[in-house]
Amino acid sequence: MESVMEDVAKVLNIDPMEFRKLNFFENGQITARGMVLKYCTINNIVSQLEASADVLNRKQQIAAFNQDNRWKKKGISVMPLRFEVNFTHAHQNVYVTIFHADGSVAIAIGGVENGQGINTKMKQVCAYELGISMDIIRVKSTTLLTNSNSMATGGSITSDVNALGVMQCCQQLKTRMAPVKAKMVNPTWPQLVAQCFAEGVDLSASSFTFPSGDFCDYNVYGATCTEVEVDVLTGENQINRVDILYDCGESMNPEIDIGQAEGGFVMGLGYWLTEQMIFDPTTGTALTDGTWNYKPPLGKDIPIDFRIQFLKNAPNPRGVLRAKAVGEPPLCMAASALFAVKHAIEAARKEISKDEFFPLDGPATVEAIQTACQVDSSQFVYGT
């Protein structure tokens, strides 16, 4: 759909972002899937990004650069995002237990920690709910005994759903412990736990999350501005700058979420620009199966100037602890790099009077970019 809007904007000879603005959702509108957009902030986010990223001035600077340079071209693309997060189907089995001797807490969740920081967030949620230090909380490995029937970890929803489960477990425990606490005078956490154990209070709780009502779906909104520079002769390219404004609600952990946004975006750069799979047409064997011929993003592929901001004062009423998911949505925002490259190619083709529609599929490898620039030896003329 982004490609369709780019092409329509070109035919109408208007800025692609201005065309997108004509098609923005408004607050209260209903999506094709029947979802009412109660907290739609896309107009505000795009306006903020355009101001903070100085988009108008940079477009003028890029136009001047392209006018003065034949074999290097720049492109810039601003893209909005609406990413629906729906976890009505996301069942996760969570188990929380308190050890009577010292008050330490063990958590086992249905989600699997694979670098996304979910275990840290679960410790934070547990510490917040129980009013204790994170130092005495440990997250144990997921097992089919404590966390049976949990769905897959993925879709950027696992943190939300398991955080909800941890909260529910902690609320069960607090309810059971409350009568004991009421009989004590300012007990420490270990004292309270020991007394609860002495009085036969069950210090373990489980929750099989079944999200519904206000905690079942919401939308993530964001906007990205990507600026690239392309070598017309070789197709090589460099991402000069990326500005992202991302609606993370009230982030549970901004340091983790910033890393997830950066990582998701860079993973998307690989999808759109470098990671080409080639298969043997006869056997189906993957031919790009090693580091010599399969190119994920590396240090030189990361934007030189990489700026990510979270939308301020934007709690998510439909999210767990007012937060929003992060991970997959920023990956989708990397498509802005593809269209920035395409705009640079358009500037090159305009020089040879071939500024008409052309498809640019992902991954836009250096070969695809160079071919799309339609360079031939007749253009290598000095002084004309």
Model confidence pLDDT, tens digit, residues 295-351: 999 998 999 999 999 999 999 988 889 999 998 999 999 999 999 999 999 999 999
> 223 forms bridges with which residues in the sheet?
80, 245
Please state, in angstroms and as integers, the Cα–Cα distance from residue 238 to each residue in 84, 176, 202, 225, 306, following that order.
31, 59, 59, 15, 13
| Residues 318, 370 within the same domain | yes
Q: pLDDT category, 377, cuts 50, 70, 90?
A: confident
| Residues 227, 144 within the same domain | no
| Residues 227, 313 within the same domain | yes
| Residues 269, 318 within the same domain | yes
> 207 forms bridges with which residues in the sheet?
94
Please report whether residue 321 resides in a domain.
yes
| Residues 65, 132 within the same domain | no
* E strand or H helix at 227: strand 217-231
Domains in the chain, number: 2
| Residues 67, 186 within the same domain | no
Please report whether residue 214 resides in a domain.
no
- Beta strands 237-246 and 305-310: pairing type? parallel
222-263 pLDDT, tens digit per residue, is 999 999 999 999 999 999 999 999 999 999 999 999 999 999
- Three-state DSSP at 16 gives helix
Please state, in angstroms and as integers, the Cα–Cα distance from residue 320 to each residue in 167, 188, 255, 298, following that order.
9, 28, 18, 35
Please give the DSSP secondary-structure letter assigned to residue 256.
Answer: H
pLDDT at 157: 87
Q: Report yes or no on whether pTM surpasses 0.85.
A: yes
- Domain with 106, as residue range(s), is 93-208
| Residues 255, 238 within the same domain | yes
**Last residue of some domain: 157, 188, 208?**
208
| Residues 34, 131 within the same domain | no
Q: Is the pLDDT of residue 147 over 70?
A: yes
- Which tokens belong to 187? 């007990």
259-311 pLDDT, tens digit per residue, is 999 999 999 999 999 999 999 999 999 999 998 999 999 998 999 999 999 99
Q: What CATH number is associated with residue 146?
A: 3.30.365.10
Angle at 382 between CA 376 and CA 384, to 5 degrees: 95
Question: Which sequence positions are flagged as catalytic?
Answer: 328
Q: Closest Cα to residue 41, out of 313, 306, 252, 286? A: 313
Instruction: Say which residue the tokens 């767990």 belong to.
Output: 320
Nearest-angstrom CA–CA distance, 59 and 77 = 9
| Residues 125, 48 within the same domain | no
| Residues 82, 229 within the same domain | yes
Q: Closest Cα to residue 180, out of 191, 171, 164? A: 191
Nearest-angstrom CA–CA distance, 53 and 46 = 10
Nearest-angstrom CA–CA distance, 13 and 7 = 10
**Last residue of some domain: 208, 230, 245?**
208
Q: Closest Cα to residue 193, out of 169, 176, 205, 207? A: 176
pLDDT at 307: 97
| Residues 236, 349 within the same domain | yes
Please report whether residue 271 resides in a domain.
yes
- Three-state DSSP at 308 gives strand
Q: Are 244 and 261 in contact (CB under 8 A)?
A: yes
Please report whether residue 213 resides in a domain.
no
Please report whether residue 382 resides in a domain.
no
Give Cβ neighbours of residue 167 (< 8 Å, ≥ 6 apart).
125, 129, 320, 321
Please report whether residue 229 resides in a domain.
yes
**Last residue of some domain: 208, 241, 267?**
208
Nearest-angstrom CA–CA distance, 382 and 185 = 90
Nearest-angstrom CA–CA distance, 363 and 287 = 16
> 238 forms bridges with which residues in the sheet?
229
Q: Residue 323 class from Cβ within 10 Å (0-12 exposed, 13-18 middle, 19+ buried)?
A: buried
Please report whether residue 24 resides in a domain.
yes
Mean pLDDT of the residues in the chain: 94
Please report whether residue 384 resides in a domain.
no
| Residues 274, 367 within the same domain | yes
Give Cβ neighbours of residue 138 (< 8 Å, ≥ 6 apart).
104, 105, 106, 107, 123
